[in-house]
Each structure stands twice: as structure tokens, then as C-alpha cells.
Structure 1
């Protein structure tokens, strides 16, 4: 029996990519699941597959759009009405906004902030009291290697939002260790998923060498193991850890110049 057996996990953005991989990883380790995303049909398909693969596993689906400021509270209320106590929170929902800052309407940026920054914080705020009371909790905030390196031109707010999640996770982890709650910022680099299709950067990133990529399953496995061990920040993959270490020792001016030179290879500068 693993520590996740008989525990309930909430996974946001579970309809694809890293979120779906986390749902599969946790189900394999015995956790029951509440999976949420906007695409209800994908959630239903995932729930049926996991329930069939793991007899006795409970999987609840809740369609929600975390760009709605009321969604986190409504989601937690729905979970409570179903008599479920969440011990594991995977804050994964996210996406990128392509192009330069002024190329997009403000509302699109506001929605981005709501999904990638406000919603994870609110979900943690609403679910932490129960975790503290039960003296067990796991929160994995899916950040990014981008949060450790200088910001790039294009996708202006993405790295900033991930750096925010990293710092938030660090403080939250130190505040909650005494309650048996582990908080980890999981920081993947380039990962095979739908992310780059949605942002329109697939033609660019497809030119990146294969050794820079990880699968969603590898990220989820390594990220969850790190969360269980009590690591506060986990950059997944040796290549990504090397990049983080290199950037850390470079002078800021050199790091910025390097990112400026290479950003056109992986960031959409203006929307199509």
C-alpha cells in the first residue's frame, strides 16, 4: 500500500498533457481522483479508462473553466457536496499566450493570470485547512524551467507566472511542513503535450533537439516522487537541471542576452 491509497486527489487541467499524466500516475498508486478541465467529454473518457484499469478506483469528473473567478470556490463546494476530502492537489491547469504583450487584449492576460496564478492559490487556500487538520497533504504546483531562467520576448507573462508559482510554493512549503503537508513546485522543460499546439509554437519547437524533451509521463512520475519526498522545488530531467544550474552562475546580462538570442526558436513573437 502506498501513501496515496485511500486518498483523494484533485487534478486540474486533467484532460491532456501533464495533468492527464498525473491523474494516471496517482491512479496507479491507489489514489481516488477528482479530475477537472473545460472539456467534459475528455474527462469522461479518462474517468472510464482509469476506472476500468483500476477496479474499485473512484473517479469523479467536474467540468470547470478556471478563467472564471468564481470557479475555484464553486469547484471546492461541489467536491464538498460529494462528501470528498481532498488530500492531494495537483495545480496543473495552464496555457501560454503567444505574441508580444500589447498584441493581445487585456482580458486575455487577465484570464491568464486567473488560471495560472490566482486559481492555484485559491484552491490551495480552500483545501489546506482540511489537509492541516488531517495532518496529511500534498500540493504539486506545476511551474516550469521558464520560471528559473530570464524572461523571453513573446509569451510575456508565462515565465513571470511560473516564477511566481515557484516562490509561492517555497513559502507555502515552509509554512506547512509541521502539519505533514508537502508542497512542491514541479518545473518541467520542453514536454510532449498539446501545449505547443494551442500556443501555435509547434512548428518552432519541433526543431528543438529530441534530447531536450521529456514525456508527460516522465514529468508526472518524477514530479510526484519529488513531492512525496518533501522536495520543495523539482526541476525535472537532467538536461533541465543542467540548464538551470548554468543560468544560475551566469551574470544576469549574459543570461538575458542568451535568452534574447534563442527565444525566437521557441517563443511565438507575434500571433499568427
Structure 2
């Protein structure tokens, strides 16, 4: 650990897993840089973190769908002399419906947020971590990146699979330099995610044992990255699903995916 209070940057910090990361890290003695589009929510969360945990919480509103945002964010950190020890790449969302149902710009924006922005932020902040001999990068991926693709939300699982492989490679490249990298892979999590994608009614039909709350996901994630795990799937149910997906023949796995995805994917 650094001698000073660690500084953690969390993207998508205005709600869900991102806000849970901010609260848990603040409770563990971290200062925060909160990044998301909704400035009002960020300022409210920053006030809570200061009052409850005595954390110094910086607010930087940013839309990571803008390709210039990662560079501007890094420039702002440098201008404020903020050296990031933990990077939590959490921002993300799914595009409901089939691939051709959305305009290309909608898909391009989602790829920018899910793939390009976290990759660029890691590239921009990693050198400082390596130089200081300490750093943690958490890329919030998904169980979806481990199981066969499904119809609907076409690019989501593919993007999360990228984050998993990227995290593995980055972890190997930096494991001897004091920098731990982990792809955190939750399954169904209580958050605003399904409200944003318009699938709340669909996923609400799934059994409760398949769900975790954001706080449990975050606690598992922090412990996993500190242990040096390159990939961590949260929850016993999700780990069982991942194991079964690996063992099943491809045709069977795709058939099961096609059958089950109708329960939680919007296909129009």
C-alpha cells in the first residue's frame, strides 16, 4: 500500500456497482475521483463520502462515449496533481434489441464506453502506477463474457470477453511491478442497469438465487484484486454457470443460450 491515502478513480460512479465501489473504497480509507455523466448524483455521493468516511472526493463529470473523454480526464488529473492508485473501469450499459435494430452510432458509442475508454484509461494511468510500484486496475466485465453469446444485446458479451482477455494479459505484464489487474465478472446484479436497457420486467422473472447485490459484488472484487486474481466471477451460482458453459459442447451451449436468453433479452 502507498504511504499516503490511496486515490481511487471510479467510472460510472453515479449508481449501482460504481457507487458501491466508491463507498466500499472510502470505507477502507481511500480518497476518490468520481466519474460519470450525471454531475448532480456525483456531487451527492461525494458529499456522502466526505461526511461518512472523511474521504476527499473529487468530481469530474464526463461522458465516456466521447472519444476525447479519456484524454481530457487524464489531463484533468495531471492538472490537479492527482496520482491514481486504483482504477475501477465500471462504466457500461447494454444496447437492447438485435444488432440491426439500432443505428451504427448507437453501437459505436457503446463500444467506446465498454471497450475503448477503459482500455485507454488503463494505458494512460498505468505508467504512473508502474513508476510508483503500486497500482490496482479493476475492469468490471461480466459472466456474459464467459458463456456463449445470446441473441439481443449483441455487442455486450463480446465487449466483456475483450475486457477479460485484456485484463489477463495486462495482469501478466505487470504482476512483478506491484500492479494487480483483475476482470471482475458479476452475473445478475441489483442495480439500474436493467432499467436503463428496458429489460427490468423480463429479468424480474428470474429466480432470486441468481441475483447478487452490488455491495457483495464489490467486496468480492476488492478481495480478488488484492489476492492477485486476474479474473474473478462473483457468487457460487455464477461460478457454477461458468463451469457448466465450459464443459458443455458448443452446439448444446448455444442451444441453451438461445432458450434461456429469451427470458432476459429484448429481441426487438
User: TM-score, with normalisation over the residues of structure 2?
Assistant: 0.99
Q: Which residue of 1 aligns with 2:36?
A: 37
SS in 1 for 2:262: helix
CA displacement, residues 83-139 of structure 1 (integer Å, 9 cap, x when unaligned) = 110010000000000000000000000001100000000000000000000000000
Q: Which residue of 2 aligns with 1:100?
A: 98
Which of 238, 253, 256 is the equivalent residue of 1:255? 253
Q: Distance in 2 between matches of 1:22 and 1:208?
A: 25
Q: Distance in 1 between matches of 2:156 and 2:219?
A: 24
Q: Distance in 1 between matches of 2:30 and 2:149?
A: 37
Q: Which residue of 1 aligns with 2:67?
A: 69
SS in 2 for 1:86: coil
CA shift in 2, pair 1:192/1:160, >3 Å: same
Aligned positions of 1:10-21 closer than 5 A? 10-21=9-20
Q: Distance in 2 between matches of 1:125 and 1:96?
A: 24
Which of 124, 148, 158 is the equivalent residue of 1:160? 158
Q: Distance in 1 between matches of 2:74 and 2:217?
A: 26
Q: Distance in 2 between matches of 1:54 and 1:187?
A: 27
- RMSD between aligned alpha carbons? 1.0
Q: Report if the CA contact (8 A) 1:65-1:71 is conserved.
A: yes
Q: Distance in 1 between matches of 2:245 and 2:67?
A: 35
Q: Which residue of 2 aligns with 1:182?
A: 180
Which of 205, 208, 232 is the equivalent residue of 1:207? 205
User: TM-score, with normalisation over the residues of structure 1?
Assistant: 0.97
Deviation at 1:79, TM superposition (A): 1.1
Aligned positions of 1:1-272 closer than 5 A? 6-55=5-54, 57-270=55-268
Q: Report if the CA contact (8 A) 2:2-2:134 is conserved.
A: no
What is the number of residues matched between the two proteins?
A: 268
SS in 2 for 1:208: coil
Deviation at 1:222, TM superposition (A): 0.4
Q: Distance in 1 between matches of 2:4 and 2:210?
A: 34
SS in 2 for 1:99: coil
CA displacement, residues 41-91 of structure 1 (integer Å, 9 cap, x when unaligned) = 000000000100012x21000000000000000001111111110010000
Q: Distance in 2 between matches of 1:42 and 1:228?
A: 29
Q: Distance in 2 between matches of 1:45 and 1:260?
A: 41
Deviation at 1:178, TM superposition (A): 1.4
Q: Distance in 2 between matches of 1:25 and 1:254?
A: 40
CA shift in 2, pair 1:269/1:12, >3 Å: same
- Ranges of 4+ aligned residues in structure 1 off by more than 2 Å: 2-5
Q: Report if the CA contact (8 A) 1:97-1:158 is conserved.
A: yes
